[in-house]
Structure 1
Amino acid sequence: MTAKPTKTGSDVRFDGLVDLPAAPPLSSATKGLDDAEVERRAASDPDAGAIPADFWDGVDVVEPEGTVQITLRLPKRVVGHFKATGKGYQSRISAVLSSYVDAARKRGSR
């Protein structure tokens, strides 16, 4: 198990399923419910609206674009500017480059 510090605490990362802590025991309110009882409770819950059978029909599945790790040399002033904006500066550099590519495609440029 490893911990990654964040602003609000730390994200805990586990190296495998065997490292996960045991789940807390079920409360007496949910212990021993069969599927029919779970369905009955869900049907009577005013916050659990019914999902129509055709809800997902006609939906386009969009896969995340993903990223590629590269080494890129940039002028010191450019890196300094983005680093001065704080944590996440690499994502902001990526956003600037992405917006350039989008604009170039709209113009018909390569």
Structure 2
Amino acid sequence: MVQTIKYYPDESINVNAGPVRSFGESYKTMLEDIIDTMKEHNLEALSAIQIGYPYQLMVIKEGESYIPYANPRVVTQSNPFDSTEESIYFKNHPITVKRYQTLSIV
């Protein structure tokens, strides 16, 4: 089901998201909600916290596939650069953030 996206300055996004511990029906529902919301808003990526689920879960669209990453951890990062961009949270509020040319997650 399409969920309401949290936008700046909504501070509820700033909670510590907990790890996903169960991959049962509630996980499947959360994942479906993220993907439905991504499709509705034509997004390339979305995290669970952005729609009110306080869990370490994100989905990235790759081609026509939606790839979930539960409890992702950065393993390596290299070649940092500054990028000015907008996100779904900072809609109409461009910010400069540090990004990496190469990033590996598990």
Tell whether the structures are fold-level matches, with TM greater than 0.5. Answer: no
Q: Structure 1 or 2: larger strand share?
A: 2
Larger Rg: 1
- Greater relative contact order (CA < 8 Å, ≥ 6 in sequence): 2
Q: Structure 1 or 2: larger helix share?
A: 1
TM-score after normalising by structure 1: 0.20
TM-score after normalising by structure 2: 0.21
